[in-house]
Amino acid sequence: MKKNYQAMQENKIDRRYFIKTMGAAAASGIVLGTPLFGQEKQTPEIKTNIDDFMKVPKTKDTLPGRFPGKVVKVTDPESMVDNVRNAEVINAMFENGLSKLTSKNLRESFDLFFNRDDIVGIKVNPVGSPFINTSPELTESVIKWLTEAGLPKKNIIIWDRFDYMLADAGFTKERFPGIGIEGLQTMDEEGNSWRDANGDHISRDQFDMDWYYYAQGVFGKNVRGYKDDEFYLNQHVFNHEYSYYGKLLTKKLTKIINLAAYKNTGNGISMATKNMGYGAVCNTGRLHSPLFFMVNVEVLAAPPVRDKMVLNITDGIRGQYDGGPGANAQFIYPNHSLYFATDPFALDMICHNEMTAKREQMGIEVNKHPRFSEYLHYAEKLGLGIADVNKIELVRV
């Protein structure tokens, strides 16, 4: 939350290209994917600051957005042939899906969500590149829509938590000229340390000390999956009870488009809500075991996310039904679909049920315990979205 809330209503990218494997990432203090302990029973009785978020008055753009409970799925088998994405087909799918969601043409759809002074952040998921990440082709379609409607390129920023991952996934200034590309966390110029010569985290000033997600008694210390507290700190910037929001979200962006990838995380999914829940804040590794999926709701409930994230698209041209959220080639398959919603919780419920069915179809032992989807119903209780499948309108194209 905002600490004073009651009173308020890099040259550097290409030099990091060498970090391309899990081993290299781990050497720099990165633990990719979801540790197995994230699948344990969660402990939602932990005190957080969700109530403070919910006290903030809503706006016309507050989740679940303009179309609560509506999900559009567009499928075209020509979107990927012989494991190669077809950008022209994907663009047609994007335009069709957006129009079906809004019942308006492209220009009218733009005006529904944006004005031409907005600073629009496109949150991508680069984890698992080049196989199961948000595709540059879909991102190009989104940018084409925005710029043709009159939004200047300088007002568009592709972003994620780690800048080097963006480069690895093809989100470079060469491919996206004139578009901003930013990571909330960065490394030194040599690309081998997250901290400066004094031991201070280089990215510390990129997080807003006034906006945070608080989990009482959950420290970034002795975190399972990390060899020691220093190793954890390299990746997470802080190791106490607070996860701070990036200044990019709190001070710069006025609107957010969330472009998730279509993949599992254990018996749950790592799609629209997780792309933002674990991408908007630092100091997240500590949250997996005690709260995990609940984070996908409570981080999104903060005004810097819930009042700005006006559109969610899940890139399901490829899917991965096991071994996620990092890429695991044996479980990747052509899914040929894009999913559209303003309501990320309705979107994730549809995709969760699809993923469960796919896992069963492929002979994966499936645990259907409610903990893998109850966070979506929690969001509905908070008024942030629709999770009851009987209330969700699924439009298939």
Q: What is the pLDDT of residues 292-322, one digit of tens each?
A: 999 999 999 999 999 999 999 999 999 999 9
β-pairing, 255-265 with 309-320? parallel
Distances (CA, A) of 360 to 75, 267, 322, 353: 21, 11, 11, 11
Domain boundaries, the chain: 5-19+35-396
User: Crossing angle, helix 374-381 and helix 344-361, to 10 degrees?
Assistant: 160
Q: Which residue stretches of the chain have pLDDT < 70?
A: 1-44, 188-192
The whole-number pLDDT of residue 6 equals 31
Answer whether CATH 3.40.50.2300 is correct for domain 5-19+35-396.
Answer: no
Give the integer Cα–Cα distance in Å for 227 and 73. 42
Which among 295, 261, 267, 260 has a CA at the least distance from the CA of 281?
Answer: 295
Report residue 232 as tokens.
């954890």
CA dist list (Å): 345 to 22, 44, 69, 371, 377: 30, 18, 8, 15, 8
What pLDDT, on the 0 to 100 scale, is given for residue 198?
Answer: 84
SS3 category, 93: helix
pLDDT single digits (tens) 40-68: 555 558 999 999 999 999 999 999 999 99
Q: Is the pTM of this model over 0.75?
A: yes
Q: Which two tokens stand for residue 67?
A: 């179309």
State the DSSP H helix or E strand holding residue 215, giving kind and residue range, or none if neither.
Answer: none
How many angstroms from the chain centroid is the CA of residue 20? 20
Query: Distance (Å, rounded) from C-alpha 373 to C-alpha 355?
Result: 12
Predicted local confidence at residue 196, as pLDDT:
84
Q: Is 14 exposed, middle or buried, given 0-12, 13-18 or 19+ CB atoms closer than 10 A?
A: middle
